[in-house]
Amino acid sequence: MHTPPRTITADLAIIGTGLAGTAAAVFASNRKIACAIAGNTGALAYTTGYFDLLGFFDGRFVGDPWEALAKLQQTTPQHPLAGISSGDVRRAFTEFIAFIGDNGITYSQPGSDNLRALTPAGTLKPTLCLPATMSKGVEAISRKAVCTIFGFHGLKGFSANQIAANLQNGWPKIQARQIQFPSHLQGELYAEVAARSLEVPANRKLLARILESEAGQSEYIGLPAILGIHRPDNILEDLEQLTGRRIFEIPTMPPSVPGIRLREMFEQQFPQRGIAMVPQQRIERLDFTGEKIALQLKDNHGPITISAKTALLATGRFLSGGLKARFDSISEPLAGLPVHQPSSREQWYQDEYLDSRGHEIHQAGIDCDASFRPLGKDGTVFDPRLFSAGIILAHQDWIRQRCGAGVAIATAYRAVQAVEDFLAE
Amino acid sequence: MDITKTASPSFKEMALKLLPAEASFDACLTCGLCSSGCPASGLENMDPRKFIRMAMLDMDQELASTPWVWLCTQCRRCYHVCPMSIDIAQLVFFARGLWPEEDKPQGIVRSCQLTRSTDSTSAMGLPPEDFVFVVEDVLEEVRSQQPRFSHLQAPIDKKGAHFFVNQNSREPMSEPEEMAPLWKIFDIVGADWTYSSKAWAAENFCMFSGDEAAWYEIIKKRVDAVNELGCKVWLNTECGHSYFTMWSAINRFGMEADFQLENLVSYYARWIREGRLPVNSDWNRKGITFTVQDPCQIVRKAYGESIAEDMRFVARTLVGEENFIDMQPNRSANYCCGGGGGFLQAGMTEHRRAYGRRKFDQIAATEARYVLTPCHNCHSQIEDIGHHYQGGYHVIHFWTLICLSLGILGENERTYLGDDLLALQD
């Protein structure tokens, strides 16, 4: 049977479709760099939707991330964010958010301070930018306004009672209600299903009626993140009009609607912008021997080759397969890059899971030069055409430092700038 | 049924075989993305996440007897969204095969039996000579009633023709006039095509019944028929699983197939781009709105995004950019409508309609008047849930709309048009 071979040519091949990969595609596309992107988008669908720059540093939560960033650049010069000016960081966030906003998901602009935002557990965390559908939550918290948080029967991964209970002390006017989602009959309710249901105007009217009748005197209503997938801003606006209250979303445990929104939006928008995208498929092999880099992958229909002048490795860490851990060593499986790692297995972890020093394994990753080009075994650039971005990079602990999005977006920005310079030569 | 006494592999063994190399089911985070995105979740108190967990916990007894395996259409959306690339649909196919024939949904079993009962490979059991008769009969009628097509051809068994075209049994059996639009399209673009009297049919319920041997047998007949006529391209009609069962079987069983597998949608797009099919949206003066269904068997499970783009190019050209509204989600991320996997024949109507609720909500959110789809099962299911949930929309095939836009849709080829499209005809 003849299946014609398929080749995609590009100036830049982006390996990975998480935050770093998609941000790189946005930056490349804006700079008219012909790019192709492939990857299996896993953890993006887990995100709260918050874009953290730097949330925890020097033993405490960060109020002013720019000040903390400046300190980080002095004290930990190997950190991926250390080599990036705050101007570039700000521009990177602004440009990425502009793209997302142009495609139906508005985000708040990066401000001078972190915002205090709600987690699914009803605690507060600092973040730099969040979806506009969540902004009024920040407002409600700071104003300590009269507010009802609604949970839904069957929606695991979100407890209105827990949120209200955890915040009660500092916020006495918060209360919780548990209601039935309209047309949901029995069993488990998924946030994604509720969100899709609210894309239908009739279903919004039904929900609004219930909210109205249960919200009492509340000026604010907090809901789990279920306000549609495709056009959440419009759905929020509609519900606010129907109820006459200010409404905000609160992230849920995965599977997370804010993450699914982003993934679906990128999958739909990238092809429309001429970015060749092979969604939900991993690059399997890289070949640097030819004049162009050859990337091999396949989809259900057969093999695909991407032939590119440059490539950007944004494959993430252990969850997404960007890094692989054997019993006593960590490797980077695609290009075979050397991985900066603790000298022995014994040093990977502290004894205590929540040890405040963090675990050294989280600092493992790829070392790069100032242009975000990975280094080979001898400490020189592995290949002048290969770049890297995101949390695959070494010397950062995105979980503890709450800097995942910052690392992803800012390093993608600088890496694409470096690609642009390289292509211009 | 105690499958622990059989020689076949356990679910766990089967599941492990289906994983990508070096992966492990310990990698399943039970994150729920699969279940969250599955329209069958919650039916029979089961979902993909539970299914895979039960496999890992050696709960073979329960897995071999849950009716949920007939409610999962094997659309592979779970696999598509899974960060660990776990193929739950394959496990469901395996489970179906473990059911004794007499316990399987008899509608599916019967369709498979009928498919094997004649050389037609027709799930409605229409023998070759009857198929030939119907084709010639309809051709005669079109030639006499539609002067522009007085020389229309519908070749059968034409050796060396470029395209081998299959045919879904529904048309010749119950609405034979609906075959004519495609013949007219072929005529206009000057395509060199043929039907085959042997193995002409498209559908394949043997795959749905989990019967691998029968699935192979049907495909072998079809591959042989194409090889015999020496056609370069097997051109799949507007039917979803006919493509997938053919292509998947050829790969799975390593069959000798000296031809290309192509889908009509790709050719509609090509012919329009080449100017051979001169369609446009001038006819849509009233701004009637359309959406498009992505059949799982053609898009997500097969050609992927490229055919989804072709389909949208065709739709936009036909109806006008501003009159086309994509449903959400779409392309490879679209939901199965619930028509696939034999669901329409399984007799589990209540479950099927519950499954289809998500598709209905998707369509309702577009507020489109028509759903375009190149798949017979999608066509039937989306029509059914439209009536059941009172949607007020209509469902049509691409060939109908192509002929409508060219002003050549015959009077008895308008069964699926709503009043608004009918009003435009005169």
Q: Which residue of B lies nearest to A43 if distances are taken between CA atoms?
A: B83
Report CA-CA distances (Å) from B85 to A158, A280, B9, B107, B296: 26, 9, 21, 32, 17
Residues 163-222 of A with CB under 8 A from B: 186-188, 190-193, 196-197, 199-200, 202-203
The alpha carbon of residue B242 and the mean position of all alpha carbons in its chain are separated, in whole angstroms, by 6
B328 and A41: CB-CB below 8 Å?
Answer: no
pLDDT band at A43 (very low <50, low <70, confident <90, very high): confident
CA gap A128, A81 in Å, rounded: 15
- Chain A residue numbers touching B251 (CB-CB < 8 A): 1
Beta-carbon count within 10 A of B103 CB:
11
Q: pLDDT digits over A242-292, tens only?
A: 999 999 999 999 999 999 999 999 999 999 999 999 988 999 999 999 999
CB A291, CB A298: distance < 8 Å? no
CB B263, CB A3: distance < 8 Å? no
Assign domain B277-423 to its CATH architecture: 3-Layer(aba) Sandwich (3.40)
pLDDT band at B1 (very low <50, low <70, confident <90, very high): very low
Chain B within 8 Å of A417 (Cβ-Cβ)? Answer: no
Q: pLDDT digits over A308-351, tens only?
A: 999 999 999 998 999 999 998 999 999 999 999 999 999 999 99
Q: Which residue of B lies nearest to A40 if distances are taken between CA atoms?
A: B83
- Chain A residue numbers touching B304 (CB-CB < 8 A): 278, 299-301
Which of A199, A282, A301 lies closest to B328 in CB terms? A199
Q: Which residues contact A343 (CB under 8 A, 6 or more apart)?
A: none
pLDDT band at B424 (very low <50, low <70, confident <90, very high): confident
Cα of B118 to nearest chain A Cα, Å? 26
- Burial of B127 by CB count in 10 Å (0-12 exposed, 13-18 middle, 19+ buried)? middle
Report CA-CA distances (Å) from B200 to A252, A396, B165: 52, 62, 8
Beta-carbon count within 10 A of B45 CB:
11
CA gap B384, B391 in Å, rounded: 10
Chain B residues with a Cβ under 8 Å from any Cβ in chain A: 31-33, 35-37, 41-42, 45, 47, 80-85, 247, 250-251, 255, 257-261, 300-305, 309, 326, 328-333, 358, 361-362, 364-365
Domains B3-99 and B110-270 share a fold: no
Q: Is the dihedral of CA A197, A202, A203, A204 positive or negative?
A: positive
- Chain A residue numbers touching B37 (CB-CB < 8 A): 192, 255
Provide the whole-model pTM: 0.93
A45 and B328: CB-CB below 8 Å?
Answer: no
SS3 category, B380: helix
Q: Domain B110-270, CATH 3.40.50 — does that match?
A: yes
Mean predicted confidence (pLDDT) in B27-52: 92
- pLDDT, position B14: 77
A300 and B301: CB-CB below 8 Å?
Answer: yes
Q: Is residue B331 over pLDDT 60?
A: yes
Task: Give me the residue label for tokens 């949120």.
Answer: A163
- Chain B residue numbers touching A1 (CB-CB < 8 A): 247, 250-251, 255, 257-261
Which of A187, A200, A300 lies closest to B361 in CB terms? A200
CB B325, CB B292: distance < 8 Å? no
Q: How many angstroms separate the most distant Cα atoms in chain B? A: 68
Task: Please state, for a pLDDT cut of 90, what percent of chain A lies above it.
Answer: 92
Beta-carbon count within 10 A of A5 CB:
9
CB A107, CB A100: distance < 8 Å? yes
- Chain A residue numbers touching B297 (CB-CB < 8 A): none
**Residues linked to residue A368 through DSSP beta bridges, in sequence order:** A374
Pairing label, strands A302-313, A293-299: antiparallel
For A370-408, letters b (16+ CB in 10 Å) and e give: ebbbbbbeeeebbbebbbbbbbbbbbbbbebbbbbbbbb
Q: Which residue of A lies nearest to B366 if distances are taken between CA atoms?
A: A200
CA gap B87, B77 in Å, rounded: 9
- pLDDT, position B22: 58
CA gap B43, B60 in Å, rounded: 19
Beta-carbon count within 10 A of A8 CB:
19
Q: pLDDT digits over A74-105, tens only?
A: 999 999 999 999 999 999 999 999 999 999 99
- pLDDT, position A299: 87
Beta-carbon count within 10 A of B7 CB:
5
SS3 category, B13: helix
- Burial of B278 by CB count in 10 Å (0-12 exposed, 13-18 middle, 19+ buried)? exposed
Q: Which residue of B lies nearest to A204 if distances are taken between CA atoms?
A: B365
B83 and A40: CB-CB below 8 Å?
Answer: yes
SS3 category, A326: coil
CA gap A207, A70 in Å, rounded: 47
Mean pLDDT of chain B: 92
- Domain B3-99 sits in CATH at 1.10.1060.10
- pLDDT, position B145: 95
Instruction: Tokens for B182, please give them.
Output: 């495609």
Q: Which residues contact A145 (CB under 8 A, 6 or more apart)?
A: A139, A173, A219, A220
- pLDDT, position B17: 76
Q: pLDDT digits over A182-238, tens only?
A: 988 778 999 999 999 999 899 999 999 999 999 999 999 999 999 999 999 999 999
Q: H/E element holding B289? A: none
AA identity, residue A62: V
- pLDDT, position B2: 47
B31 and A203: CB-CB below 8 Å?
Answer: no
Helices (H), ranges, A358-403: 398-401
A300 and B260: CB-CB below 8 Å?
Answer: no
CB B134, CB B156: distance < 8 Å? no
Q: Angle CA(B127)–CA(B133)–CA(B135) in degrees, nearest 5?
A: 105
Q: Is residue B6 over pLDDT 70?
A: no
Instruction: Tokens for A124, please give them.
Output: 């507060």
Question: Could you say which DSSP state residue B187 is in?
Answer: H
Report CA-CA distances (Å) from B412 to B135, B141, B142, B355: 15, 11, 10, 33
Cα of A224 to nearest chain B Cα, Å? 15
Residues 312-371 of A with CB under 8 A from B: 319-320
Q: Is the bond preceding residue B329 a cis peptide, omega within 30 degrees?
A: yes
Q: Which residue of B lies nearest to A325 if distances are taken between CA atoms?
A: B22
CA gap B426, B422 in Å, rounded: 8
Which of B31, B42, B362 lies closest to A188 in CB terms? B42
Mean predicted confidence (pLDDT) in B53-68: 88
Cα of A256 to nearest chain B Cα, Å? 9
Per-domain residue ranges of chain B: 3-99, 110-270, 277-423
Q: Is residue B4 over pLDDT 70?
A: no
CA gap B19, B39 in Å, rounded: 23
Q: pLDDT digits over B12-22, tens only?
A: 787 777 766 65
Q: Is the dihedral of CA A109, A110, A113, A114 positive or negative?
A: positive
Domains of chain A: 6-104+259-424 (3.50.50.60), 121-252 (3.40.50.1860)
- Chain A residue numbers touching B82 (CB-CB < 8 A): 42
CB B394, CB B422: distance < 8 Å? no
Q: Is residue B280 over pLDDT 70?
A: yes
Question: Could you say which DSSP state residue A69 is in?
Answer: H
